[in-house]
Amino acid sequence: MTEVPEHLLRRSQERRAALGLAGGGGTAAGGDSAVPATAGPSAVAAAGATAPPVAAPAAPKPALVDEAPAGPTYIDFKEQTRTRIPAWVMPVLLVLPFWAILYMGAFGERGGEEELDPMALGAEVYRSAGCSACHGASGEGNGSFPALAGGEAALTFPDEADHIDWVKTGSGPFAGQPYGDPDREGGQRGPATGGMPAFGNLSDEEIAAVVLYEREGL
């Protein structure tokens, strides 16, 4: 019988050890060898043919990797405090200036009361203060009360200031005396009877207006 070369036997043992078959250690490890050292090539082939199939080694399980600890959580306070503007705010902001203009026009400062025309005010005072009751509605005069129309008042008192004083004081201070312009055509008026009352209760504006009306409006 032909002796199996040592290098072939060693190669067969290494291959069996790599495949995980028993006896891979051979006689060098002190165990029984599945193929005698003196066996020929046919015996080695027969031993390899009758050996049970070897399952492929299971793939190693992947090592469990611990997840890295989560980092610190940051809170965006700006995002939390930011609030959305309601949709109705924009139309209100657009209308607000127009509303302010209307408000100022309705309740804002207004100009002073319209100033009454002095001639119109004088006519009103002439009727309401009782002048028309004595001197006539149109200044035509009435008995002992002289006429004022047709410029008669201006002829009696050429100086308007004297006319104003006459209305304020009345005819009392001149009772029994002539009054008015001494150079008046036909002489002074009078003597005064003292029957004309004083109108000091009227304002200066009202007296000036009624004098203007008697001099230029009648």
Domain count, the chain: 2
Is the residue at 110 inside a domain? no
What pTM was computed for the model? 0.49
pLDDT at 31 over 70: no
Q: How confident is the model at residue 86 (pLDDT cuts 50, 70, 90)?
A: confident
Is the residue at 23 inside a domain? yes
Is the residue at 188 inside a domain? yes
Query: Residue 125: which domain range?
Result: 118-217
Is the residue at 78 inside a domain? no
CATH code for the domain of 147:
1.10.760.10
pLDDT at 216 over 80: yes
Determine the residue type at 57: P
Mean pLDDT, residues 86-93: 77
Mean pLDDT, residues 202-217: 96
Is the residue at 68 inside a domain? no
CA–CA separation, 158 vs 139, rounded Å?
A: 18
Q: What is the pLDDT of residue 88?
A: 75
Q: What are the C-alpha distances in Å from 94 to residues 83, 90, 98, 105, 199?
A: 21, 6, 8, 18, 60
Q: How confident is the model at residue 186 (pLDDT cuts 50, 70, 90)?
A: confident
Q: Phi, psi at residue 74, to the nearest 5°?
A: -100, 135
Say how far residue 200 (Cα) sits from the centre of its chain. Answer: 57
For the stretch 134-165, pLDDT in tens is 999 999 998 888 999 999 999 999 999 999 99
